[in-house]
Structure 1
Amino acid sequence: MADQPLVSPERNLQELTVKALLLGAFLSAVLAAANAYIGLLVGLTVSASIPAAATSMGLLRLFRRSSILENNMVQTAASAGESLAAGIIFTLPALVMMKAWAGYEWGPMVTIAILGGVLGVAFTIPLRRALIVEAKLAFPEGVATAQVLKTGGIETDKDHPEWKPSPEAKQGFKSLLQAAGIGGAIKLLEAGLGVLSGGVAATKSFFAGKWLFTGDITLSPALLGVGYIVGLNIATLVFMGGVIGTLIGVPLNWALNGDELAQLAGVSSAMADWSAQDWEALAGASWQQCRRIGVGAMMVGGLWSLITLAKPLWQGVKASLHAYRESKTNAGKVLRTEFDIPIPYVGLMILVSVIPLYFLFLNALGEYSERYWIAAVMTVLMLVFGFVFASVAGYMAGLVGSSNNPISGVTIATVIVSALILLQLMGNEGLAGTLGPIAVIYLAGMICSAAAIAGDNMQDLKCGHMVGATPWRQQVFQVVGVAAAAAAIPWVLDILDRGYGIGRPSPVNPDATPLSAPQAGLMRDLSTGIFGAGIEWTYIYIGFALAVVLIILDEIQKKRGASFRFPVLAVAVGVYLPLGLSVPIFLGGLLAHWQQKKRGTHEAEGKGLLLASGLITGEALMGVVVAILAVSLPGQVPYLQGFALAPWLGSAGLLFCLWYLAKKS
């Protein structure tokens, strides 16, 4: 039978073990740290299920006995760390940017992350049978992860040498480690030692100062990996956004608004006397205005996501209710491979969460006079929006995969809708104008975390369905992964903020290049703007128009059945980010496309995804290590300041990584 799992329901292999529990929690924290770094840098996150599965297979080989079901449990917990990191970094840095928090406070962050993550698991448990067993949605990452796990064999036992992993499993783990070593070494040589440059940039004026050019390239192996994983379509759109915001927007803005930009940049002398630094300041001021086009496009893209997801949402809710009725009808006849956490326990999880939710919102509202009933409203909004968007995320994960799941879009919509509701209830006078946006970001953090975990949970359950896992055990391991990542993420963000700065200059290392944190910056601007702090609308309106054009193009491509689409959020992120970040992403996407044409989609993806994931993980984890060094040794990291050959050597390092990916994938 085509739908028969690899391990039959009647067979009981070791699954929920102490070593799987500890290894899953450890990898969840590690992958959360890596994804936090890369997500803050470029505003995109990638699924960690495949590298988690390969790492699990490699590490479990060190033990006398292991099974494919143990491997599956480890990757279930580990991939939760990557997903939860996305939910947190897209939202909570806004609280530090708006100075609501002095730093990354461990207690509130852990509470928000755990509540959002656990509710994301709970809301999707009733969807498992409906979407995976009955609807048979694609769940691409879940299927790919199951294929990786199958290469390791069903059981390994050193007392029975014939039970051993395949050569492909050993090679996959080795490739992942090798690529991680390369990514980490290049990051150490760049950010730690200063031997390699992290990027090259140029700003020039042409035609007697009438045309202003600025451009840059970030020399990052991790961004090559991101481009390889997201593919040519998304990589092209991100690059297109960079071209619109920088190569087109900056000179056009200078030509039309030169006097205003000179005033903003603090350049007052005659043009003939302007230095290279003056032109760089002018280009920077022009780009800061143009990036707001990306804000406008993200706003429309987020709302469009809700409109297009209305039908899938309704189908998801119906499927959930149907699954519950089926579980009641078939009580007592449940196979091991169909046994979820019982619905009464799921309801208890949700009910118990109401108390900490209420007190968390109460804390966010500070001394506001009507905080008690506003906290109750926020709690209801969390439960309603959480269920709605977790259902959407679970359904969309089945259609397009976790990496393409529009969780930032639904979070943008959450911020706008909840801010407008609170504005009507609280007004914006006095404390309300300050505390209202803070409460909105608390809600957004939990909604985004719930949606991210919901998509990941469904992918993992699809993988488990294929290999023959026990669903309730996977759901428990998903919660374990959430808890481990929630404990690690605040510490990681604090280190990154002090070492590099997140969306702002570092308070202790001001010379470092800050991590962009584009979504968090947008959440801050939207929440404070709606409550009356003011938003610069001119460029946002241009972003609205750009989004409408992209939506029309996307609908045309959809009707044509074309594989190349125009999702708004990918272009919007490209506009908002520095151009240099999108260049290596584009190169990685081109390479992935070339490899698929040359070697076939399955073969290129199987090898290339592990190598790309290794480059990302290695650079990201070394980035955290270098941040610790920068905080511990202020002024001494990087060791070589202004090394003359660094740009050339950095360029050579990026070319080497491009060659390595092309050669080995």
Structure 2
Amino acid sequence: MAQVAEDGTGPRASASPREITVKAVVLGIVLAALLAGANAYLGLKVGLTVSASIPAAVISMAVLRMLRGATTVENNIVQTAASAGEALAAGVIFTLPALVLLGYWTEFPFWPVMTLSLCGGVLGVLFTVPMRRALIVDKPLQFPEGVATAEVLKAGERGGSSARYITIAGIAGAVLKFCQTGLGIASSTVTGAVKAGGVVIGFGSELGVAMLGVGYIVGLNIAVLVFAGGALAWLVGIPLYMAFADPAQLQTIVSGATGYDAAEAVWSEQVRYLGVGAMAVGGLWALLSVLRPMRDSLRSSLRAVREARGSGEATVERTERDLPANYLVYGTILMAIPVLLVFLSVVDGGRLEIGGGLFAGTIAFGLVFSLIAGFLFSSVSGYMTGLVGSSNNPVSGVTVMTLLASSLALLGILGSRIDFSADEAKATIAAATAVLLSSVVTCAAAIAGDNLHDLKAGYLVGATPYKQQIMLIVGVVVSALCIAPILSVLYTAYGMGDSLPRPDMDPAQALQAPQAALMSSISKGVLLGGLPWPMIITGGVLAVLLIVADQLLGRRGSSFRMPVLAVAVGLYLPFELSVPILAGGLIAHVAARARRGRGEQDGEAGRGVLFASGLITGEALVGILLAIPFAIAQSADVFAISPSALGMSDGAFEIGTNVLGIAAFACFVIWLYRTAVRAG
């Protein structure tokens, strides 16, 4: 048995507990692949991902408990590798699908997707190695998910029983998803609209349970802000735009659509760009907020390295051993080489019709930009994760900032030689180049936040930092190998955004890929012109007001805060996705009050989080599994039950599916609440 520290939190620094074992590595690899797929689906559907560390820790404890002899730090190693899958999926799906939406790719080629995601993820691990001591040891930040994961690991004896909440919810969520998307007997969304004069107010709700789980996990504060952003865009922004827009321009946007479809067209073409402005300002604010702490962090890390060299490696305790500092330099150079090769092979310099020198200079700029911005935003991501948690990591804001900067830089470099406004094909190539640069940065930033919150959990349970960093790299490699096939299958089965690989596909079934759609619009809009700058500027002004309000709330010590990026996400999401997120947040709040009324602590409410995680995982995995037969058959109606098979008219069948979808969603709302408030 491993030696345990005096406070009971984990093995002593002088002990040598089992950490990286064969069973831990195998389980970590399997969970990394599964969670990468589940979060890729979730992110493409709604533009949000959730931290996978707690579910991974619970599953690890349940499995390793059956094999007997597992240590706390061994379970920690499993969740470390597994959570890398979720984080890398976020970095990839926020950027690379934009190349398909731009029309630059017609599929997801394996080697470029794998290489960019792998290299970006490994850089994210390496860039945060020198920050661990400063942010976790010398300047301990909150790292909410890291602390929560450590508490779950310490209570490992409850792992077997706790895992059943994930399993039951996962099965139930999977069955509902199959009924909605596979059999087609239950609606996955319900929408409506009210028309007053020439103004349309659209409203609706997603009836899938994944968003319900997301809302529960992020809590009422974030859920309210996401919903507020959606309400502001759909209930205020769209009606105002339709009331005051030029009639001819409005007719061009609406193009004969009526009701909810008309509102959706206005949102897609104009109003969602409020979210672009808010995200850009939010990302800049995040960067400015961490400049001083980042400087202090680097100074502290360099001082620690000098002290370790001066005193000798043997004197450094096990719990303070990071990957050697020279690995950062060598690893960065090693990762830069395949990134450069991808840039050279994917960017079509011949079609740009520029000289070899300018092309080489553009590629060199792209490589240097991606490495510098990757390091800078990895630091931002790591620090912000410590403040607000991994689930609220401002990756969206980081991506928007990176893409705007890279697009404007490419416009400056190539704009004197190419008239992009007169050649859309060349603008598409330049826009795709900006997306490629941003993909490396975004993957690095996403992994950086995950890395540090995993290291926080490890610090609290007495783990060895360099072993966790090794397992994070293992998780990155596994996820990078899986992500390209997953994206290909999902795209072939459902389509993404307004890009449908087959003419007979149902646009309503397409994965929205909101962040990627945003990236394609921004990159091409900067180069071609035509971005709705009044909307972007208005969104930026709104973000400034939110930042001021949030700072005032912070000074008053309010428990309710207003992080600008949560509102920005709501502005950019279809409104029907915000509704179940709000429902989940309300359940979390009401359930917490009920538990406190019985004298229980909030920390005893793990079953609600686990149940919500199961809902997300079950729906996401069935969505991926259904994509396989859909892709093979080139149709999403493989398992669909037709109205005639049930002896029903089309109208009656539609009413029946809506009623069944709403009733099923209501049952899951009640079930989640009852699970969350259950005593003992």
Is it true that 1:506 corresponds to 2:508 in the alignment?
Answer: no
87, 91, 100: which one pairs with 1:83? 87
How far did residue 280 of structure 1 move?
4.1
How far did residue 376 of structure 1 move?
2.1
How far did residue 358 of structure 1 move?
2.1
Deviations 1:383-423 (A, max 9, x none): 22121111222222222211112122122111122222222
CA distance in 1, matches of 2:239, 2:219: 30
How far did residue 34 of structure 1 move?
0.8
CA distance in 2, matches of 1:46, 1:235: 13
**3-state SS, counterpart of residue 204 of structure 2:** strand
Q: Counterpart of 1:632?
A: 632
CA contact (8 A) 1:110 1:487 kept: yes
Deviations 1:605-641 (A, max 9, x none): 4221111111111111111112223223325245124
Instruction: Sort the Cα spacing of 1:510 and 1:315 in 2 relative to 1 into closer, same or farther, 3 A.
Output: farther
Is it true that 1:94 corresponds to 2:88 in the alignment?
Answer: no
260, 265, 269: which one pairs with 2:254? 265
Instruction: Sort the Cα spacing of 1:345 and 1:547 in 2 relative to 1 into closer, same or farther, 3 A.
Output: closer
Instruction: Sort the Cα spacing of 1:220 and 1:635 in 2 relative to 1 into closer, same or farther, 3 A.
Output: closer
How far did residue 3 of structure 1 move?
7.5
**3-state SS, counterpart of residue 31 of structure 1:** helix
> After superposition, where does 1:159-558 map in structure 2 within 5 Å?
166=157, 168-206=158-196, 209-257=197-245, 258-267=247-256, 278-288=258-268, 289-331=270-312, 332-367=314-349, 368=354, 369=356, 370-427=358-415, 429=418, 433-508=427-502, 510-511=505-506, 512-558=508-554
Instruction: Sort the Cα spacing of 1:39 and 1:549 in 2 relative to 1 into closer, same or farther, 3 A.
Output: same
How far did residue 47 of structure 1 move?
0.6
Q: Counterpart of 2:646?
A: none
What letter is aligned with 2:204? Answer: D
Deviations 1:81-107 (A, max 9, x none): 000001111111111111121111111
**3-state SS, counterpart of residue 195 of structure 1:** coil
> After superposition, where does 1:29-68 map in structure 2 within 5 Å?
29-68=33-72
How far did residue 497 of structure 1 move?
1.4
Please list every run of 5 or more consecutive structure 2 residues that lacks an aligned counterpart in the other structure: 420-424, 643-649
CA distance in 2, matches of 1:297, 1:524: 17
What letter is aligned with 1:282? Answer: A
Instruction: Sort the Cα spacing of 1:171 and 1:502 in 2 relative to 1 into closer, same or farther, 3 A.
Output: same
CA distance in 1, matches of 2:410, 2:186: 49
Deviations 1:263-292 (A, max 9, x none): 43333xxxxxxxxx6334433333322222
CA contact (8 A) 2:191 2:260 kept: no
**3-state SS, counterpart of residue 507 of structure 1:** coil
Q: Counterpart of 1:581?
A: 577
**3-state SS, counterpart of residue 436 of structure 1:** helix
How far did residue 313 of structure 1 move?
2.6
CA contact (8 A) 1:5 1:465 kept: no
**3-state SS, counterpart of residue 67 of structure 2:** coil
4+ residue stretches of structure 1 with deviation over 6 A? 1-4
What letter is aligned with 1:306? Answer: L
When normalised by structure 1's length, the TM-score is 0.92
How far did residue 550 of structure 1 move?
1.8
Q: Which moved more, 1:437-446 or 1:327-336?
A: 327-336
Q: Counterpart of 2:133?
A: 129
Q: Counterpart of 2:645?
A: none
CA contact (8 A) 2:549 2:562 kept: yes
Instruction: Sort the Cα spacing of 1:433 and 1:333 in 2 relative to 1 into closer, same or farther, 3 A.
Output: same
CA distance in 2, matches of 1:131, 1:284: 43
CA distance in 2, matches of 1:68, 1:4: 11
CA distance in 2, matches of 1:635, 1:178: 27
CA contact (8 A) 1:518 1:573 kept: no
**3-state SS, counterpart of residue 583 of structure 2:** helix
CA distance in 2, matches of 1:358, 1:142: 34
**3-state SS, counterpart of residue 418 of structure 2:** coil
CA distance in 1, matches of 2:524, 2:556: 41
Instruction: Sort the Cα spacing of 1:398 and 1:304 in 2 relative to 1 into closer, same or farther, 3 A.
Output: closer
Is it true that 1:650 corresponds to 2:654 in the alignment?
Answer: no
Q: Counterpart of 1:617?
A: 617
CA distance in 1, matches of 2:482, 2:79: 17
Is it true that 1:71 corresponds to 2:75 in the alignment?
Answer: yes
Q: Counterpart of 1:161?
A: none
CA contact (8 A) 1:216 1:579 kept: yes
- How large is the RMSD of aligned CA atoms in angstroms? 2.1
**3-state SS, counterpart of residue 191 of structure 2:** strand
How far did residue 142 of structure 1 move?
1.2
CA distance in 1, matches of 2:181, 2:359: 46
What letter is aligned with 1:323? Answer: A
**3-state SS, counterpart of residue 65 of structure 1:** coil
How far did residue 324 of structure 1 move?
2.3
What letter is aligned with 1:172? Answer: S
Q: Counterpart of 2:675?
A: 664
CA contact (8 A) 2:493 2:631 kept: yes
Deviations 1:481-530 (A, max 9, x none): 00111111111111221222222243136214222222212222222222
How far did residue 340 of structure 1 move?
1.6
Identity in percent: 45
How far did residue 179 of structure 1 move?
1.0
CA distance in 1, matches of 2:311, 2:418: 56
Deviations 1:353-396 (A, max 9, x none): 22222222222432253222322222222222121111222222
**3-state SS, counterpart of residue 515 of structure 1:** coil
CA contact (8 A) 1:261 1:282 kept: no
CA contact (8 A) 2:59 2:159 kept: no
Q: Counterpart of 1:9?
A: 13
Q: Counterpart of 1:118?
A: 122
CA distance in 2, matches of 1:263, 1:636: 33
CA distance in 2, matches of 1:79, 1:399: 19
**3-state SS, counterpart of residue 32 of structure 2:** helix
CA distance in 1, matches of 2:456, 2:603: 22
When normalised by structure 2's length, the TM-score is 0.90
CA contact (8 A) 2:99 2:105 kept: yes
CA distance in 2, matches of 1:556, 1:638: 54
Q: Which moved more, 1:11-20 or 1:27-36?
A: 11-20
CA contact (8 A) 1:317 1:391 kept: no
Q: Counterpart of 2:110?
A: 106
How far did residue 5 of structure 1 move?
4.8
Instruction: Sort the Cα spacing of 1:130 and 1:12 in 2 relative to 1 into closer, same or farther, 3 A.
Output: same
Instruction: Sort the Cα spacing of 1:4 and 1:357 in 2 relative to 1 into closer, same or farther, 3 A.
Output: farther
How far did residue 135 of structure 1 move?
1.5
Please list every run of 5 or more consecutive structure 1 residues that lacks an aligned counterpart in the other structure: 153-165, 268-276
What letter is aligned with 1:340? Answer: D
